[in-house]
Amino acid sequence: MAHKVLLAGGGTAGHIEPALAVADALKTLQSDITCEFLGTDGGLETLLVPKRGFRLRTIPKVVMPRAVKVQTVFFPLQLLRAFFSALKQLKEFDLLIGFGGYVSAPAYLAAFIKRIPIVIHEANARPGWANRLGRHFAKVVAVNFDGVRQKWPSAVLTGMPIRQSIASLAQIEDISTFRRLTIDTWGLDSSRPIVAIFGGSQGSRHINSVIEEFLLQGTEIQIIHAVGVNNPLPAQQANYLPLPYFHDMAAIYGAADLLITRSGAVTCSELASVGKFSILIPLPHGNGEQLDNAEALVAQGSAIMISNEEFSADWLRNNLAAALEKARTFKPQLNHMNSGAAKRIAELSISAISESAER
């Protein structure tokens, strides 16, 4: 009997990309499984999910208030509305796999009421509220950090599901040719260092403004910069290539000598998997998970961390050359666990469906 799986995760690539990796793994393991996605109308999932050939269902967005304000009084109503919408969307599905974020909490509640088994993946070193709620209903909880597994004893340490194209980078024998051919497509000089800059899937206005100021004095260092699809695209200039979004992250990781980026869980896991040195700028809001993620890479010697407030054009001018030298001499210890994480979660998901069907 063919099974239907709904994968819930939206808002940012940090929730969407792991879900897509697991969906691909599910289809590889069991070709007759149907995978669909649950997201919101305004999230990045509206671009990424259909592009990968999966159907996207949507429910209203629910944002957990991080401080007491006027909008806080509407949160229960927003959650209830999204819950009833999720109940409708979950019809005929055999499993829900949640990755946290805006849509997961109402989906977890709806799946629990409908007695649909739940599998959760927690990507961050500091779990968000949706997965902290959902783990109490879940049949399987998979985590990316051992520290979370220790706090949640029943959880399974799987690592981070990453795109196969990125996992395969470690298998490329002639990475120098890959780098040269990739940089040639960008119109840059492969004989000189490349710095790739991105502020997460939505871009970062602060990082963008710092780079804009940095470029006022010109630079001899080549920069490729994803500014975010909703942000204005700067003019291209000598040694600077701006893009709305990095669609091919394998090319970025394979060709760049240094990464400057936020420290989302997916980004940090991908950096660890491909062995790239980075400058990490944790997002200053949220529940502090990006700070924890960055500290894990700093402790391994694979990153420099700078706060959002301290990251400035002057700081970059004073530290970029030294960071590039550290990147040049960096000897990575690759994290191979992430390359098999999507398959492991897919296997746990298929087992959860089978066990539920037997009852």
Lowest mean pLDDT among 43-57, 65-79, 109-123, 151-165: 65-79
Q: Is the pLDDT of residue 155 over 90?
A: yes
Q: Can you give the pTM of this predicted structure?
A: 0.79
The span from the CA of 237 to the CA of 315, in Å, is 22
142 vs 97, 118, 146, CA distance in Å? 10, 11, 10
Domain-wise residue ranges, the chain:
4-162+339-358, 164-337
Place of tokens 């709305």: 244
E strands, 40-148, where?
55-58, 95-101, 118-122, 140-143
> Comparing 4-162+339-358 with 164-337, is the CATH topology the same?
yes
Average the pLDDT over 23-42 and give the result.
Answer: 93
Which tens digit of pLDDT belongs to each residue from 56-109? Answer: 999 988 776 655 565 666 778 888 999 999 999 999 899 999 998 889 999 999
Which tens digit of pLDDT belongs to each residue from 214-266? Answer: 999 888 999 999 998 889 999 999 999 999 989 899 999 999 999 999 998 88
CATH of 4-162+339-358, one of 3.30.70.100, 3.40.50.620, 3.40.50.2000, 3.10.20.30: 3.40.50.2000
For 43, which DSSP code? S
The span from the CA of 54 to the CA of 242, in Å, is 29
Q: Is the pLDDT of residue 299 over 90?
A: yes
Confidence of residue 203 (pLDDT cuts 50, 70, 90): low
**What local confidence, expressed as pLDDT, does residue 206 receive?**
94
**What local confidence, expressed as pLDDT, does residue 96 receive?**
98
Average the pLDDT over 338-356 and give the result.
Answer: 91
Neighbours of 216 (CB within 10 A): 8
**What local confidence, expressed as pLDDT, does residue 64 receive?**
65
Asked whether 327 and 260 are in contact (CB, 8 A), the reply is: no
Q: Look at the alpha carbons of 106, 107, 108, 111 in this order and tell me if their dihedral is positive or negative.
A: positive
Burial of 235 (0-12, 13-18, 19+ CB in 10 A): exposed
173 vs 41, 91, 176, 340, CA distance in Å? 42, 47, 9, 20
Architecture of domain 164-337: 3-Layer(aba) Sandwich (3.40)
Which tens digit of pLDDT belongs to each residue from 212-223? Answer: 999 998 889 999
**Mean pLDDT for the chain overall:** 90
